[in-house]
Amino acid sequence: MSADALPIETTIHGRVLVARASSPAHGWLVAFHGYGQNAEDALGDVRAIPGIDAWHVVSVQALHRFYTRGDERVVASWMTRQDRDQAIADNVAYVDRVVDRVVAGAAADRLVFAGFSQGAAMAYRAARLGRRSAAGVIALGGDLPPELKTSSDRAARPWPPVLIGAGDAETWFTADKAAADEGFLRGAGAPIDVVRYRGGHAWTDEFRAAAGRWLMARGS
């Protein structure tokens, strides 16, 4: 007897942390954590970027939560390969709702999406498939998702500026993967900067400094 897989739409609540700038903001930085992390992790990582106090920061937690070994922490994952297309649509719709709910006012025209590891793909998707145009993408330790490299990419808007971060001791987002993404994005007309920093699969002070300078250019 065979069994059919039926995708069923349902409602689920996400979790978002918001840290507002203490003075008139340059814009909004929407951050996405990596696999096995949570919104607090992403918020802590990006709030250490020099000059970030001039930006409102929104840290979005993935919808699929689980416990770390020993039930020490609640963490999350953005998606797996199972029902991939539906998961992408769900995640993009979720981010659109976050932006609609949180982002408003004069700074809404400067919307930067930043992602680490698995969250890098979400930053690209939010910028490319979301309802609002992005002023930039920061992708650290994670590659461009394959559906955005094909003719089925639904977004008609131009690519925003992109900052790619790749560590010289990186074992997952390798130099070859970074070079492939850089080549594709340059061919697609995206203004792109690549930072090859000392370190592995993690935020580092060196990359944060580069991200701070890059954000300053987006906010000016």
Q: Is residue 7 part of a domain?
A: no
Q: Is residue 4 part of a domain?
A: no
Judged by DSSP in three states, 126 sits in: helix
pLDDT of residue 155: 55
Residue 89 CA to its chain's centroid (Å):
15
The whole-number average pLDDT for the span 208-217 is: 96
The Cα–Cα gap between 56 and 192 comes to 23
- How far CA 34 is from CA of 39, 119, 140, 148, in Å, comes to 10, 5, 10, 19
Judged by DSSP in three states, 214 sits in: helix
Model confidence, pTM: 0.94
pLDDT of residue 104: 73
Q: The domain that contains 213 carries what CATH number?
A: 3.40.50.1820
Q: Which domain holds residue 54?
A: 15-219
Taking only the tens place, the pLDDT of each residue in 126-164 is 999 999 989 999 999 999 999 998 855 555 678 999 999
pLDDT of residue 153: 56
With CA atoms as reference, report the closest residue to 38 among 20, 15, 55: 15
Q: Is residue 66 part of a domain?
A: yes
Q: Is residue 56 part of a domain?
A: yes
The whole-number average pLDDT for the span 81-105 is: 92
Q: How many domains does the chain have?
A: 1
With CA atoms as reference, report the closest residue to 51 among 209, 163, 220: 209
Q: Is residue 5 part of a domain?
A: no
Q: Is residue 45 part of a domain?
A: yes
The Cα–Cα gap between 154 and 145 comes to 13
Q: Is residue 9 part of a domain?
A: no
Q: Is residue 3 part of a domain?
A: no
